[in-house]
Chains A and B, each alone.
Chain A
């Protein structure tokens, strides 16, 4: 039961908000002897594992550090080239830290603007006229839920495929957006949302959904625990 992240894309397709929630951090550190039995490759200015998956080091993982010295691009922070260091027999045994690549803000902006035309294409491809765009995109490790408001703003939630209660969550995010972003007089439309109240309220809702979302509709009833409120919410669930 996990929600991985929340994204909001403006009417014109720009990413105006993103929040990583509960993304598991995977890091593995291991000491190797010469020769290195993992095949590394430099791709997009990053050193990644190309082949030779073992001991929690997976294909696609990023090289984080060598002997505790962090790696930026294909260079160690002391200026040496990663591949030169790894090819030199004298440097062994060597300690290498691998981990999952983190998305940079730029990549997120890029991906968000990529979803925008996908959404549009889906609506055009539809055999039925007046179809909506992509509402749910399912993969084996996550489900992306998208809700487009009448004004064209898209709220997106990336969550575990089994996470329930996302419909309610998307509506709640919309309410929070209307309340804490749009009613903030210093927030200008279409600009990135940097409102602390928005963040705080969003986090609260995400935690509530994660705790109770797997129980489906009973979620609403359980959130408010004071007796009178519970009665009020239960009535709503039934109606």
Chain B
């Protein structure tokens, strides 16, 4: 719906606000939950809970239909990245079976002003994105796994988020749908 997407554009906020808010959230979590692995888990859960709500917003505003293959899904998530983070990642590194792919982000607004201290090398700072992808896809009956392969915060040249298709949640599909 063109009207909806135009309306969406009018509500842009400065990405630094997002960067800082997210930064303070992660910093607080690191303080509260000393073990970085637990922080990773919590971030993923947080993202998951965001994803299951955000997907409705995406569907309501883009008017998109059900995905029939993973390429379709990748395209839609790519446009969701643009909508919610203002970046357009590349979709690459497809597995031969076509059930796994990566999003390559050369810039990531969440990490814009961030440097990871030595003792937090195991922290997956952007894990919230993985959770959001998993939550959103679960609501449209796709079970996937998502994790970070490369991280700019750890010296890699890009941030790479891997998505692996596990199965279609057949029994959760609403009646009268595909």
Q: Mark A residues whose CB is within 8 Å of B.
A: 11, 119-120, 122-124, 130-133, 148-153, 171, 174-175, 177-179, 182-183, 189, 220, 232-233, 236, 239
The 10 closest A-B pairs by CB, nearest first: A133-B176, A152-B174, A123-B176, A120-B175, A178-B57, A182-B53, A178-B56, A178-B60, A175-B60, A132-B176
Contacts of A153 in B (CB 8 A): 56
Interface CB pairs A-B, < 8 A, 25: A123-B175, A132-B176, A148-B176, A149-B59, A150-B140, A150-B177, A151-B55, A152-B177, A153-B56, A171-B63, A174-B56, A174-B60, A175-B4, A175-B60, A175-B61, A177-B60, A178-B56, A178-B59, A178-B61, A179-B60, A182-B54, A183-B57, A189-B53, A220-B3, A236-B3
Asked if B176 contacts A122 (CB within 8 A), the reply is: yes
**Do A182 and B1 contact each other (CB < 8 Å), given the known contacts A119-B176, A171-B63?**
no
State whether B2 touches A239 (Cβ < 8 A): yes
B residues within 8 Å of A by Cβ? 1-4, 6, 52-57, 59-61, 63, 65-66, 139-140, 172-178
How far, in Å, is A236 (CB) from chain B's closest CB?
6
Name the distance in Å between B141's Cβ and chain A's nearest Cβ.
8
Q: A123-B175, A149-B59 are in contact. List 6 more A-B contacts (CB 8 A).
A: A133-B176, A150-B59, A150-B66, A175-B4, A175-B60, A179-B60
CA distance A150 to B56 in the complex (A): 9
CB distance from B45 to the nearest CB of A (A): 15
Q: Kindly state the separation between the CA atoms of A236 and B6 in the bound complex, as whole angstroms.
A: 11
Cβ contact within 8 Å between B56 and A236: no
B63–chain A nearest beta-carbon distance, Å = 7
Per the bound structure, the CA–CA distance linking A239 and B5 in Å amounts to: 15
Report A-chain residues with C-beta under 8 Å of the C-beta of B65.
150
- Complex contact A132–B177 (CB within 8 A): yes
Known: A151-B139, A175-B60. A11 touches B174 (CB 8 A): yes
A76 to chain B, nearest CB (A): 47
CB < 8 Å neighbour of A171 from B55, B60, B173, B178: B60
Closest to A152 in B: B174
Residues of B within 8 A of A232 (CB): 6
| CA gap between A179 and B177 in the complex, in Å | 24
Q: With A150-B140, A236-B3 given, is the CB distance from A120 to B59 under 8 Å?
A: no
The answer to whether A148 touches B177 (Cβ under 8 A) is: yes
> Would you give the shortest CB distance from A165 to chain B, in whole angstroms?
14
Residues in chain A near residue B176, CB distance under 8 A: 119-120, 122-123, 131-133, 148
Residues of B within 8 A of A220 (CB): 3
| Cβ distance B128 to chain A, nearest Cβ, rounded Å | 15
In the complex with contacts A123-B176, A132-B177, A175-B60, A183-B2 CB distance below 8 A: no
Cα(A183)–Cα(B11), bound, Å:
15
> Contact check: which of B60, B63, B66, B175 meets A119 at CB < 8 Å?
B175
Chain A neighbourhood of B57, CB < 8 A: 178-179, 182-183
A233 touching B53 by the CB < 8 A rule? no
Give the docked Cα–Cα distance between A189 and B173 (Å): 17
Interface centre among B4, B56, B57, B140, by most A CB within 10 Å? B56
In this complex, what residue of A is CB-closest to B174? Answer: A152
Q: Report chain A residues within 8 Å CB of B63.
A: 171
| CB neighbours of A119 from chain B (8 A) | 175-176
Measured CA separation A182–B57 after assembly (Å): 8
Contacts of B1 in A (CB 8 A): 171
- CB-nearest residue of chain A relative to B175? A120
Across the two chains, which residue of chain A brings its CB closest to B55? A151
In whole angstroms, what is the CA distance A215 to B2 when docked? 21
